[in-house]
Amino acid sequence: MASLRTFRKKIKYTLLYFLVRFLIAIANGVSRSAWLKFCGRLGKLTSYFAKKTKRISIENLTIAFGKEKSKAEIEALATEMFVQLGKNVGDVLRATSQVDTLEKLNEFVIMKGFENFEVADRKGKGVVFVACHLGAFEFQITSMAVRGLNFMVIGTPLKDKRLNDLMWKHRNKNGTNYVERDKATYPMMKTLKAGGSVALLIDQDTRKVKSTFVHFFGRSASTPIGAALMALKTGAAVLPAFSHLGDDGMQHIEILPEIPLHITGN
């Protein structure tokens, strides 16, 4: 039985890998607007088959909007989430081979708040970006890399080696230093002490990293504390950053001002 599950997973990841390579090849031959429209429809189609994921999405959206939106509105919002997911994934796949300079990136990405990074960076103690799995967050990585900054990204390796190698190649190609989470502590400290920057995605509930419970939508949510620990140990500035695909068809990245660090002893 276990061997059958292993075989099925191997087939699934093999098909996924070749699908990703196929989509990258297609993306190179069409305009961005046509490509995003296609990927949006592909995302909507996926919503009809990914029943478990859609159910979880509806449950979470109900927590956030249950008092102000009807059941039908929340279900429509969940479907639109898949549409936007398709577009964002498609944009990232397209960029893997088409974006290698700031000029090319600026054709479809708008950066807001870069001055907040410059202010924090001038302190010389490093910068910790706290981000989340929102929108095409990969472009936050790309936008810093093509600016030639000393930038490190911490990530969890994908289960399939071929897909992981593809992601690794994409993230590192413009100068980003991508490090897997289990090997990241020393490189992070070294980068911050050298005045560099580190990006962490902290929105997932995971027992694999040090976390604490915070109130979120009236519930206790397990939240990683790595960013806070790094800031305490190095004096680095902590800056929130997020991205989203706008109605204008552009990818918008926003860097917010530094979060003041309050030493409480806890």
CA distance 56 to 225: 25
Answer with the residue of higher pLDDT: 256 or 7. 256
Helices 71-98 and 2-27 pack at an angle, to 10 degrees, of 70
**What's the one-letter identity of residue 102?**
L
What pLDDT is stored for residue 45 in this prediction?
96
What does the pLDDT average to over 150-171?
Answer: 84
Among the ranges given (108-122, 170-184, 229-243), the one the predictor scored with the smallest mean pLDDT: 170-184
What pLDDT is stored for residue 106 in this prediction?
95
What pLDDT is stored for residue 72 in this prediction?
96
Q: Does residue 1 surpass a pLDDT of 70?
A: no
Mean pLDDT, the chain, rounded, equals 89
**Structure confidence at residue 244 as a pLDDT band (50, 70, 90):** very high
Domain boundaries, the chain: 2-98, 102-255
What pLDDT is stored for residue 206 in this prediction?
66
- Tell which residue, 93, 181, 94, 81, has the closest CA to residue 134: 81
H/E run at residue 220? strand 219-224
| Angle (nearest 5°) at CA 203 between 59 and 90 | 80
Residue with tokens 């929102």: 134
| Angle (nearest 5°) at CA 250 between 245 and 251 | 50
Residues recorded for the chain: 266
pTM recorded for the entire structure: 0.89
Taking only the tens place, the pLDDT of each residue in 96-133 is: 888 888 999 999 999 999 999 999 999 999 999 998 88
**Structure confidence at residue 150 as a pLDDT band (50, 70, 90):** confident
What pLDDT is stored for residue 238 in this prediction?
95
Residue 139 contacts residue 109 (beta carbons within 8 Å): yes
CA distance 45 to 72: 18
Residue with tokens 């796949």: 93
Provide φ and ψ at 245, rounded to 5°: -90, 120
What pLDDT is stored for residue 127 in this prediction?
95
CB atoms within 10 A of CB 63: 12
- Percent of the chain exceeding pLDDT 70 equals 97
What pLDDT is stored for residue 2 in this prediction?
62
Residue with tokens 């992981």: 164
Whole-number CA gyration radius for the chain: 19
Beta carbons within 8 Å of 184's beta carbon, 6+ residues apart:
154
Taking only the tens place, the pLDDT of each residue in 199-229 is: 988 777 666 678 888 888 888 888 888 888 8
What pLDDT is stored for residue 53 in this prediction?
94
- Tell which residue, 154, 200, 145, has the closest CA to residue 176: 145
CA distance 24 to 260: 41
Residue with tokens 């093509």: 146
- Tell which residue, 264, 262, 244, has the closest CA to residue 253: 244
Answer with the residue of higher pLDDT: 4 or 156. 156
SS3 212: strand
